[in-house]
Amino acid sequence: MDLATLCALMLVALMPLLYFAGSRRGRRRDGDRLPPGPFNLPVIGSLHRLGSLPHISLQKLSRKHGDVMHPKLGRVSAVIISSARAASEIFKLHSLQCSSKPSLICSKYFGNDSSGIIFSSYTPQVKLYRKLINTHLLSPARLRICDGIRRAASLDPSATSREIRCSCAKTYRLFGERSFCGSSQEFVRAIVETIRLVGIFNVSDYIPWLRWLDVQGLEKQYKQLTDKLNRHLFSILRDRRENPRVVTTDEEPMAFIDVLISMDELSDTTKITLLLITQDILLGAVDSSALSVEWAMAELLRHPAELSRARREIDDVVGSQRLVEDSDLPKLRYVEAIAKETLRLHQVTPLINPKLVEGGPIKLGGFTIPAGALVYLSSYAIGMDEKFWKEPLEFRPQRFIEQDIDVFGQNFHFVPFGTGRRVCPGAKLGLDTVRIGVATLVQGFDWELDQDPAKLDMAETFGLVCQKTQPLVAIPRPRLDSHVY
């Protein structure tokens, strides 16, 4: 049952009570003006307006009500940021007040009571965790070790499970064993299912007194998945303690999980919390890069002229006697433009996870945002802003050749990885993974579809990450000499 249908049934069932649900809000002080927003129904607010694609529904509403919009979601005040101007103002002037994540029901289960990285408040511990990730997981040495694994996964046409294929190099960086990919597919599938569930708006978060009913059945699924994830994570922890890994050379640096376990100054409780960070990293990484590569290839197959241009660039830079490597990426400007245009047109995270306004109300564009409100950054609406992007619905990589636009949260017209203090720590890795994935598939294969490319289904399904509703199916034919592969 989708969210709109559920809200409609709730509205009918609660109709006798709605007469008693009038507003008890007192008159606001002069100057305390809330942003405009759609008409809110009693009890459910605007939850019924979200539909199956909330990012698109909210973008349409923002065209009518403005780039700073205030819909009520049940009992919760929400603010939707839909322009670069508003994003720049709130994350430059109020960055610290809008850096913590709200306590949602899913964060109790998947975030160990809102600890870790993804679901937590902005604390000194979060800064430590991000430092550990940058030092021991995203270091140049660790990334070099995994380049070959990442390229090999891209070249395997039989690897049809995109979440397993994408997670291979990431789990290797975390756990230090390439065999992990094949032996724990159940764990990866659980991570993928978690990503799907976290992206669903849980009515009980916004109408708390309905929680005991669990009307969507989500909390039951949270519990089941948490048990499954914890079983795998604690099994890994137990194995590492019983069979500690020896510190290795620069060519094979210590796995991230072994770094966490070896930190003698940390208590066992803290180590368990740090272990759960590996789950957070997988939640933020599994599937996202592979989905972007899939979207990019779908667009290239629909636009053969763009595919030919990318292939000519790769052939000119790399040739046909070796495969493209990460060291070639700075010279492949059009491949980079394709990756960026894909991230703009098909935002993997079109509605950035909400931030909680703390420390009192804040001012934004002449409006007052109350403490406790949830701020949603609509990276989708920003990427579709016709005031900045010419023909935003068209796939035009050339736009990123004509102007160099930052992708890491500094240019507020383009924020696929978020912005502010909680910007994705793996943003550069994510972009590079899409670039090398697209370059490898374009260089290594000719592609055929079993249908007219113009009729390719480009529908999407909303979640914590958005994916093609119908996975791309294309026939690869090697175009290089066999010894090159």
More confident residue, 5 or 462: 462
pLDDT tier at 20 (50, 70, 90 boundaries)? Answer: very low
d(C-alpha 217, C-alpha 191), whole Å: 18
Residue 23 has pLDDT above 50, yes or no: no
Is residue 377 within 8 Å of residue 393, measured between CB atoms?
Answer: no
pLDDT tier at 106 (50, 70, 90 boundaries)? Answer: very high
Token couple for 184 = 């724990």
Is 424 one of the annotated binding-site residues? yes
Q: Is 295 in a helix, a strand, or coil? A: helix
Which is nearest to 193 in space by CA: 172, 168, 171, 223?
223
Please report the pLDDT score of residue 9 as a whole number. 58
Looking at residue 34, what DSSP letter applies? P
d(C-alpha 225, C-alpha 227), whole Å: 5
Question: How open is the CA angle 31-103-348, to the nearest 5 degrees?
Answer: 90
Please report the pLDDT score of residue 12 as a whole number. 52
Between 180-184, 323-327, 401-405, the lowest mean confidence (pLDDT) is in 180-184
Q: Is 249 in a helix, a strand, or coil? A: coil
d(C-alpha 125, C-alpha 111), whole Å: 14
Q: Is 401 exposed, middle or buried (0-12, 13-18, 19+ CB in 10 A)?
A: middle
Q: Which of 7-11, 315-319, 462-466 has the highest mean pLDDT?
A: 315-319
- In total, the chain counts a number of residues equal to 485
* Mean pLDDT computed over 345-374: 94
Q: Estimate to the nearest angstrom the gap between the alpha carbon of 187 and the chain centroid.
A: 19
Token couple for 252 = 């094979």
* Mean pLDDT computed over 127-156: 72
Question: Which residue matches tokens 């770094």?
Answer: 259
pLDDT tier at 163 (50, 70, 90 boundaries)? Answer: very low
pLDDT tier at 18 (50, 70, 90 boundaries)? Answer: very low
Looking at residue 45, what DSSP letter applies? B
Q: Which amino acid, 228?
A: K
List, in order, residues 6 or more apart from 261 with CB less than 8 Å away: 237, 240, 241, 244, 271, 275
Question: How open is the CA angle 25-28-33, to the nearest 5 degrees?
Answer: 115
What is the set of domains in the chain, with CATH numbers? 3-20+31-484 (1.10.630.10)
Is residue 227 within 8 Å of residue 194, measured between CB atoms?
Answer: no
d(C-alpha 129, C-alpha 115), whole Å: 11
Please report the pLDDT score of residue 14 as a whole number. 54
Question: How open is the CA angle 288-291-292, to the nearest 5 degrees?
Answer: 90
Question: Which residue matches tokens 């990019």?
Answer: 296
pLDDT tier at 305 (50, 70, 90 boundaries)? Answer: very high
Please report the pLDDT score of residue 11 as a whole number. 54
d(C-alpha 30, C-alpha 333), whole Å: 53
Q: Which amino acid, 408?
A: F
Q: Is 363 in a helix, a strand, or coil? A: strand
Please report the pLDDT score of residue 184 as a whole number. 62
Is residue 133 within 8 Å of residue 174, measured between CB atoms?
Answer: no
pLDDT in tens, 224-262: 999 988 888 888 777 777 777 665 555 566 677 777 777
Q: Estimate to the nearest angstrom the gap between the alpha carbon of 461 and the chain centroid.
A: 13
Neighbouring-strand partners of residue 78:
374
Task: State the average pLDDT for the chain.
Answer: 84
List, in order, residues 6 or more apart from 384 with CB less than 8 Å away: 59, 392, 393
> Count of CB atoms within 10 A of residue 179's CB?
9
Is residue 41 within 8 Å of residue 48, measured between CB atoms?
Answer: yes
Please report the pLDDT score of residue 314 as a whole number. 97
Residue 394 has pLDDT above 90, yes or no: yes
d(C-alpha 270, C-alpha 273), whole Å: 5
Looking at residue 396, what DSSP letter applies? -
Q: What is the model's pTM?
A: 0.87
Q: Is 467 in a helix, a strand, or coil? A: strand
Could you tell me the CA-to-CA distances from 434 to 69, 335, 342, 345, 374 in Å, in that order?
A: 33, 9, 9, 14, 31
Token couple for 37 = 């927003």
Looking at residue 49, what DSSP letter applies? G
Alpha-helix residue ranges (DSSP H) falling in 351-405: 379-383, 399-402
- 411 membership: H or E segment, kind and range: none
pLDDT in tens, 262-273: 765 556 656 667
